[in-house]
Amino acid sequence: MAGCSYIVSMVAPHHDPLDEPSDEQLMLAYGKGDARAFELLYARHNGTVYRLVLRSVADKSVAEEIYQEVWLSVVNARKRYRPDAKFMTWVSRIASNRLIGHFRRTGQWEPYLQDAGEALEECAAGPGYHDPEAMTHINRQVARLLFCVEQLPPPQRQAFLMKEEMGLTLDEIAAMLSAGHEAIKSRLRYAMSRLKACMGDLL
């Protein structure tokens, strides 16, 4: 939360978790014109949304563009928001639609939907991965994992990030990616297999 610590201190100087309004309450308040409610909401979730987008898309500039579009969509839809689902599920859906739209435009989605989850032993030596000697073991593990996530086919990567980053359930992910429960389950299974293989002896 380093990037937005100034926002947190600005909008919530005395933080009492027991008195905190829920995400849904904040979003409803923002829909009624309370800009401070949005600031608090944004401070809570900007990192999660940013990481989801950044780790889904290889290009950082594209990721930042999509990230901004996601939040602008939230802002523009403030009056239509209904707390039927959790706020973050709603935001995840917006982000997911943007990301899948990007993958489809760049031809990175459909070809991977039937992926059988072949092993990715070769990814360990792939380009873009740096393993400085100065890194601690845990840092090397994390860096390696992020590299491996980046190597996953987009449908598996999306399923993995939505589970790990957004904390969504299988059914929520299935609804978001317009797939069946079993399909998502197998995507996640393949994703984990690939990641294990990619991590090698670092795991």
The alpha carbon torsion through 114, 56, 99, 97 (nearest 10 deg) reads 80
Minimum distance between the CB of residue 146 and another protein, rounded to whole angstroms? 6
What's the rounded Cα separation, in Å, for the pair 127 and 111?
22
CA distance readout (Å), 151 to 54, 86, 110, 188, 198: 13, 30, 16, 14, 9
What's the rounded Cα separation, in Å, for the pair 5 and 146?
24
Minimum distance between the CB of residue 36 and another protein, rounded to whole angstroms? 9
Minimum distance between the CB of residue 34 and another protein, rounded to whole angstroms? 7
Minimum distance between the CB of residue 191 and another protein, rounded to whole angstroms? 9
Q: Which two tokens stand for residue 178?
A: 């317009």
Identity of the residue, 34 or 121, whose beta carbon is nearer to another protein in the bound complex: 34
Identity of the residue, 34 or 110, whose beta carbon is nearer to another protein in the bound complex: 34
Minimum distance between the CB of residue 88 and another protein, rounded to whole angstroms? 14
Identity of the residue, 36 or 82, whose beta carbon is nearer to another protein in the bound complex: 36
Q: Which of 66, 69, 116, 96 has its CA nearest to residue 158?
A: 96
Q: Which of 168, 196, 178, 184 has its CA nearest to residue 87?
A: 168
List Cβ neighbours of 116 (8 Å cut-off, separation of 6 or more): 190
Identity of the residue, 6 or 110, whose beta carbon is nearer to another protein in the bound complex: 6
Identity of the residue, 2 or 18, whose beta carbon is nearer to another protein in the bound complex: 2
Q: Give the residues lining the site for another protein (CB under 8 A).
A: 1-4, 6-7, 30, 33-35, 38-39, 42, 46-48, 50-51, 54, 64, 67-68, 71-72, 75-76, 78, 138, 141-142, 145-146, 149, 164-165, 192, 195-196, 199, 203
